[in-house]
A and B are shown apart, each in its own frame.
Chain A
Amino acid sequence: DSGVTQTPKHLITATGQRVTLRCSPRSGDLSVYWYQQSLDQGLQFLIQYYNGEERAKGNILERFSAQQFPDLHSELNLSSLELGDSALYFCASSKGRLSSYEQYFGPGTRLTVT
């Protein structure tokens, strides 16, 4: 158990809909990272927040947005969903804001768009 929790574990929704994925980091970790893993793909970095502020942005679509709240949990919002958004979405947390800090991953949320 990494100490990072993600809810829900599974989500099935239709195209055009909007969903919110939630992540609670390990106790004491200030950074939260979001990743997308599509079929046969590596983990694609989406976005990082550090202590409530956006720190780094990767290949995140404009239809996707995220935020980190004062209690340090984070939410990833996916809107106008398309079939290609079906993937595993992982959240990870780390102590610091730099990438040299080890990241601890949650179990992921499997999103299926039908």
Chain B
Amino acid sequence: DQQVKQNSPSLSVQEGRISILNCDYTNSMFDYFLWYKKYPAEGPTFLISISSIKDKNEDGRFTVFLNKSAKHLSLHIVPSQPGDSAVYFCAASAGDTGNQFYFGTGTSLTVIP
């Protein structure tokens, strides 16, 4: 049972435009969410996180939005750069009530120069 879903396997965006990656979850106990970026032949690297007490967290060109009522989060990248081309995974956990991270299947982002 996939508790974290990324329904778009791939996304292509022009350089300089906004990339929006989406993630949905089913478990209302999740209270901590992360985005990871993965290049080929490397392990995932942490990008940005958000706690359920917030609805937005920003770090440079990356912003994560959380809509708890819709059980939906999104990652915005503005402006998109060719170096952002990678697979992006969202992950969720129930914090202190559990240590397990649930990952989505990933969205492959291609930024076209």
Contact = CB atoms under 8 A, between A and B. Distances in A.
Interface stretch (A12-20, A43-51, A75-83): A43-51
Interface in B24-50: 32, 34, 36, 41-46, 49
A56 B97 CA distance: 11
Interface size range on A against B:
20 to 34
Interface in A64-114: 90, 92, 97-100, 102-108
A42 interface: yes
Nearest to A43: B103
B14 interface: no
A99 B32 contact: yes
B96 A98 contact: yes
A100 B46 CA distance: 12
A107 B43 contact: yes
25 contacts: A33-B101, A40-B105, A42-B4, A42-B89, A43-B44, A43-B91, A43-B103, A56-B98, A56-B100, A58-B100, A92-B43, A99-B93, A99-B94, A99-B95, A99-B98, A99-B100, A100-B32, A100-B51, A100-B93, A100-B95, A102-B49, A103-B46, A104-B46, A105-B44, A106-B43
